[in-house]
Amino acid sequence: MTGSLVWFDAVMGLSLVGIAAGTLLAKQHFQSTVMFIFFGLIMAIAWCRLEAVDVALAEAAIGSGLTGALLLNTLAAVRRHHAQSPEDHSRDRRSKDSRNVAAASPVATGNSRRLTGLLIGAFSTIAAVTLVPVVIPLATAGNLRGITSVDLLPASGVDNPVTAVLLNFRAYDTLLEVAVLLAAVFAVLPVTQFASGLEKTPPLGPVLATFIKLLVPLATIVATYVLWVGTKAPGGAFQAAAILAAVAVLLILAGATPPNCALRRWRMLLTMGPFVFLIAAVEGVFAGRNFLEYRLQWAGVTITIIEVALTASIALILTMLFSCTLPTNSESVIDSPGATGPTARSNTNP
Amino acid sequence: MNASEWVGGVLIVLGAMFFCAGTIGLLRFPDVYTRLHALTKADNMGLALIIFGLAWQAESWWDVAKLILTWGLVMLSGTTCCHIVAQVALRADIEPWRQRSGEPSAGHGGMPDDR
C-alpha cells in the first residue's frame, strides 16, 4: 500500500461511515434509498481496494444495483397505495402497515429515529474501536492456522480461491444461501398478482430502445464471460446472475412481460440451480464420501456445472423478486404463455 | 516525473475539475433540467479527460481499448439516464425554471441572485 493511497482509503472509509449514518438518519425514504445505492457503489470501490474483486462485483450488481431498483420500486408501490386510500385509517390493515413504513415523519418518529441512529452510530464506533486491536494482529500474522485456502487450491478443482471457498471448501454456506433466495421467491410469488397483468407504462421512446438494443447483447456476453472466468479469476455464478437479472430488469422496464412463474418451465428453472447443487452434494454421500465432497478429479467440472445451473436460477429468482414490486393492473388480460419472449432468452442464455 | 507522466496527470486533474464543476452545478442549479445539464455536460467531459489521461499512461493498447470501452459505456448510460429523467420530469409537468424579472430566485432552490 503506497503512502498516498492510505489517504484515499481513510477518506473512503470515513465517507462510508458517513453515508451509512446518512442512510439511517435521512428524513425521507427516497433519500435513504438513494444514499443506500451510493453506499453500495463506494463499498464496491472499497472491496476493490481490499483486492476482493469478486465481492466488489457482487456488491455493485446486487447490493447496489438490484437492491436499489427493488427499494425504489417498493417505495413507489407504497406511495401508490398511500395515494389510493388517503382517508382509510384503520379498516385496511395493509394500508395501515404501509403507512407506518412510509410515515411522513411526524415529530415523535423523527426524534425516535434520530435517537436510534445515534445509538447505532455510537455502537458501531465502539465496535470499530474494540475490533481494531483484534483485526490488526490478524492482518499482520496472516491466517490463524497457517494454512490458507490458497494452499489447498490444487485440491479444489478451480484456480480462483474465492470460487474454491464458495463452491468447495464452504459450499455448505452457498447451498444454504441459494436455499434462502429460493425460499424468499417462494414466499413472494403467491402474493403477487401477475395474473391481472402489469400496468401498461407508456413507451419511453427511441433513446431507451436503442440503449437497450446495444446493452442487452453486450451485458449478456459479459455475464457469460463472468460466469466462465469464475473458475480462474474474479467472477462466478452470483455475479453473472446479477448481470443477467439486470438485463431482465431493463427489458421489463422497457415493456417486456416478466416470466410467468405459474408455468412449469419457469418453475423448473427457478429450482434447477439448488437441485443440481443438492444432487452434487448427495452424490458424495452415496459414493462413500462426505456430503458436498466432490470426486477429486471431477471437482472442476462439477463446480462449473453447478455454477451454470445456479446462474440461471439465481438470475430468474432475482428477476422475479424485482418483478413482484412492479405496478399491476387489474383490468389487463391474463398473460399469455408465449408472451415471455425477450426475458426468456436472456435468462436461459448461459 | 517525466514529461509523459505530467501530460497524463494534467489531463486527469482537468477531468477532476470538470467533475467538481458538475457537482457544484448539481447542488446549486435551480431545477431538475438545469441540474441534469450541469451533471451530464461536466461528467462526460470530465470522464473523457480522465480516460485520456489514463490511456496516455497505459502500458498496452489492450488497456487503452478497455478504457475507451468504459468511456463509451458510461457516455451511453449517462446520456440515456439524462434523457429518461428529463422525459419523466416533463411528463410529471415539472415546469422548467425561468428567471422572472424583479423576483428573487432563492425560492427555487438557492440559486444566487446575481442580477
Q: Summarize pLDDT for A186-227 with one digit per residue, the tens.
A: 888 877 765 556 666 666 678 888 888 888 999 999 999 989
Distance CA A8, CA A51 (A): 15
Residues of A with CB below 8 A from B91's CB? 202
* Cell numbers given for A136: 490488526
Q: Summarize pLDDT for A28-81 with one digit per residue, the tens.
A: 889 999 999 999 999 999 988 888 888 888 888 888 888 888 888 888 888 877
Alpha-carbon distance values, A39 to A16, A197, A238, B47 (Å): 6, 34, 20, 21
CB-based contact A204 B76, cutoff 8 Å:
no
Q: Summarize pLDDT for A239-252 with one digit per residue, the tens.
A: 899 999 989 988 88
Percent of chain B with pLDDT over 70: 86
| Coil, strand or helix at A100 | helix
Question: Which of A335-339, B4-8, B69-73 is predicted least confidently?
Answer: A335-339
Contact between residue A33 and residue A68 where contact means Cβ atoms under 8 Å apart? yes
Angle (CA) A164-A169-A175 rounded to 5° is 95
The DSSP output letter for A234 is: S
Q: Which of A79, A201, A208 to mutate against chain B (most B CBs within 10 Å)?
A: A208
| Coil, strand or helix at A107 | helix
Distance CA A240, CA A228 (A): 9
Residues A230-257 have a mean pLDDT of 85
pLDDT band at A135 (very low <50, low <70, confident <90, very high): low
The pLDDT value given to residue A202: 61
Nearest to A204 among B73, B79, B87 (CB): B87
pLDDT band at A124 (very low <50, low <70, confident <90, very high): low
Residue by residue, DSSP assigns A142-201 as --TTS--TTTTGGGTS-S-HHHHIIIIITHHHHHHHHHHHHHHHHHHGGG--GGG-BPPP
Residues A250-266 have a mean pLDDT of 82
CB-based contact B84 A215, cutoff 8 Å:
no
**Chain A from 82 to 141: CB within 8 A of any B CB:** none
pLDDT band at A89 (very low <50, low <70, confident <90, very high): very low
The DSSP output letter for A338 is: G
- How close, in Å, is residue B76 to chain A by CA atoms? 7
Nearest to A208 among B73, B80, B91 (CB): B80
Task: Please provide residue A92's backbone torsions phi and psi, each rounded to the nearest 5 degrees.
Answer: -90, 110
**Chain B residues within 8 angstroms (CB to CB) of chain A:** 73, 76-77, 79-80, 83-84, 87, 91
Q: Which of B80, B82, B85 to mutate against chain A (most A CBs within 10 Å)?
A: B80
B84 exposed, middle or buried (CB, 10 Å; 0-12, 13-18, 19+)?
middle
Rounded mean pLDDT of chain A? 76
Pick the closest to residue A270 from A281, A284, A259 (CA basis): A259
Q: How far apart are the two ends of chain A, measured CA to CA in Å?
A: 38
For residue A342, pLDDT beyond 80: no
CB-based contact B80 A204, cutoff 8 Å:
no
For residue A346, pLDDT beyond 60: no
Question: How many residues in chain B?
Answer: 115
The pLDDT value given to residue A198: 64
Specify the residue for cell string 446549486. B28
B59 Cβ neighbours under 8 A, 6+ residues apart: none
Q: Summarize pLDDT for B75-95 with one digit per residue, the tens.
A: 888 888 888 888 888 888 888
For helices A206-229 and B61-91, the axis angle rounded to 10 degrees is: 140
A123 Cβ neighbours under 8 A, 6+ residues apart: none
Interface check A8 vs B, CB under 8 A: no
Q: Summarize pLDDT for A97-107 with one digit per residue, the tens.
A: 444 444 444 44
Q: How far apart are the two ends of chain B, measured CA to CA in Å?
A: 46
Residues A14-30 have a mean pLDDT of 92
Please tell me which residue, B70 or A84, carries the higher pLDDT value. Answer: B70
Q: Summarize pLDDT for B12-32 with one digit per residue, the tens.
A: 999 999 999 999 998 998 888
- How close, in Å, is residue B80 to chain A by CA atoms? 6
The pLDDT value given to residue A97: 46
The DSSP output letter for A227 is: H
Pick the closest to residue A350 from A251, A269, A234 (CA basis): A269
